[in-house]
Amino acid sequence: MVKENRLSHSGEQRESGKQQVIDTIRAAGSIARIDISTATRVSPATVTAITAELIDVGLIEEIIPDVPRQDAKRGRPRVALKIRGNAHRIAGIKVSHRVISVVLLDFEGNDIVGHEMPLQQACMSVSLLCTEIMNALAQACGKGGFDVSTISGIGVGLAGLVDAKRNFVYWSSSLDERNVDFGAHLAQHTPCPIFIDNDANLVAKAEHLFGKGQNVSDFVVITIEHGVGMGIVINNEIYRGSRGCGAEFGHTKVQLEGALCQCGQRGCLEAYVGDYALLREANITNGGVGHRDLGQLVEAAQSGDQMACSIFDRAGRMFAMGLANVVNVFDPKLIILSGARLSFDYLYSEQVIQEMQRWVVQVDAPSPEVLVHSWGDLMWAKGAAAYAIEEVSALAIRELASSEK
Q: Is the alpha carbon torsion for 50, 51, 53, 54 positive or negative? A: positive
Tell the smallest beta-carbon distance from residue 276 to Zn ion (Å).
11
Q: Is the alpha carbon torsion for 290, 294, 299, 303 positive or negative? A: positive
Query: For the chain, give me the number of helices (H) and strands (E)?
Result: 14, 15
Tell the smallest beta-carbon distance from residue 266 to Zn ion (Å).
8
> By C-beta, is 159 or 400 nearer to Zn ion?
159
Nearest Cα neighbor of 236 from 195, 207, 196 is 207
Which residues of 201-252 form beta strands (DSSP E)?
219-224, 228-234, 237-239
CA distances from 252 to 144, 265, 326 (A): 42, 10, 10
- DSSP per residue over 384-403, as a string? HHHHHHHHHHHHHHHHHHHT
> By C-beta, is 144 or 267 nearer to Zn ion?
267
Tell the smallest beta-carbon distance from residue 349 to Zn ion (Å).
24
CA angle, corner 270, sides to 267 and 272, nearest 5? 70
Residue 184, helix vs strand vs coil: helix
Tell the smallest beta-carbon distance from residue 262 to Zn ion (Å).
7
Residue 57, helix vs strand vs coil: coil
Tell the smallest beta-carbon distance from residue 251 to Zn ion (Å).
4
Residues forming contacts to Zn ion in the complex (CB under 5 A) are 251, 261, 263, 265, 268
> By C-beta, is 138 or 259 nearer to Zn ion?
259
Tell the smallest beta-carbon distance from residue 281 to Zn ion (Å).
16
> By C-beta, is 263 or 371 nearer to Zn ion?
263
The interaxial angle of helices 294-302 and 275-285, nearest 10 deg, is 60
Tell the smallest beta-carbon distance from residue 271 to Zn ion (Å).
6
Beta-bridged to residue 220, according to DSSP, are 232, 335
> By C-beta, is 205 or 251 nearer to Zn ion?
251
| Amino acid type, 151 | I
CA angle, corner 242, sides to 381 and 154, nearest 5? 25
> By C-beta, is 187 or 263 nearer to Zn ion?
263
- H-type helices in 117-255, by residue range? 126-144, 182-187, 199-210
Tell the smallest beta-carbon distance from residue 227 to Zn ion (Å).
8
Q: CA 198 to CA 94: how far, in whole Å?
A: 10
> By C-beta, is 251 or 398 nearer to Zn ion?
251
> By C-beta, is 109 or 258 nearer to Zn ion?
258
Q: CA 116 to CA 332: how far, in whole Å?
A: 34
Q: Are 17 and 46 in contact (CB under 8 A)?
A: yes
Tell the smallest beta-carbon distance from residue 248 to Zn ion (Å).
8
> By C-beta, is 254 or 261 nearer to Zn ion?
261
